Amino acid sequence: MELSNKVSVITGGVGGIGRAMAKAFLAEGAKTVVLADLNEDAVNAAASEIGCDGMACDVTDQRQVADLVARTTSVHGPIDLFCSNAGAIGHGVLTDAADDEWQRLWELHVMSHLYAARAVLPSMIARGEGYLLNTASAAGLLAAIGSGPYTVTKAAAVKLAEFLAITHGDDGIRVSVLCPQGVNTAMAPRSLGDGQTDGIIEADDLAKTVVEALRQERFHVLPHPEVETYVRRKGDDIDRWLTGMRRLRRQSMQT
């Protein structure tokens, strides 16, 4: 997909990744970008700074997501690209992660993508074209040792993106899933010492990778290219990979 003259929506738009993607899309000649986020004042301020539109939306509320799509379409025309980007860091492993933490991240990292697809796909399918970009994480392809709710819900986000690509690819719908490691935002890991990331990159650099991946219509968007190697190793020998991850967990607990 070339972004020139396209209408895009980006949820989680106030944060570093969403804001950087909006700027990158506009630089590519996008017709308009609509930022969406929880806080109306914050999203309007961000949109004003960037030079696009802003709308308040709780992406865990299906009615609000549907309204976001309807309002965007009414003002700007059909949505060409919907970036379901909102997310949050998670805490706890299994026994120490409360049920409401699991549910919170399930709704934010999985159901929000589903709500977006439900809202935007009918018009895209009717036109025979459209693009979904869902933000997951390298943790969804691999693992984040310190957070069960985060890892599991991000893995589900990857699987949902795969399912959408399989189910609607013949309808002219393209799907990509963004799977970064550490990015210099409020959600970035504070330490690189436990081996769980190959470096913290800037959001603007991530956005450049996104633009190129959309142009090539690649499913995996990997701002940290090392992740592709890790995924291949995991697929080649899952037992060896699990042994290595247990070793990494032990090392992490000792630091």
Active site residues: 150
Q: What are phi and psi of 197, to 5 degrees?
A: -150, 150
**Alpha-carbon distance values, 74 to 67, 68, 235 (Å):** 10, 10, 45
In a 10 Å sphere around its CB, with 0-12 CB exposed, 13-18 middle and 19+ buried, how is residue 170 labelled? Answer: exposed
Report which of 121, 136, 115 is spatially closest to residue 174, judged by C-alpha positions.
Answer: 121
* Helix extents (H) in the chain: 16-27, 40-50, 62-76, 99-106, 112-127, 138-141, 148-168, 203-216, 226-236, 238-254
Q: Number of C-alpha atoms within 13 angstroms, CB side, residue 195?
A: 15
β-partners of residue 3 are none
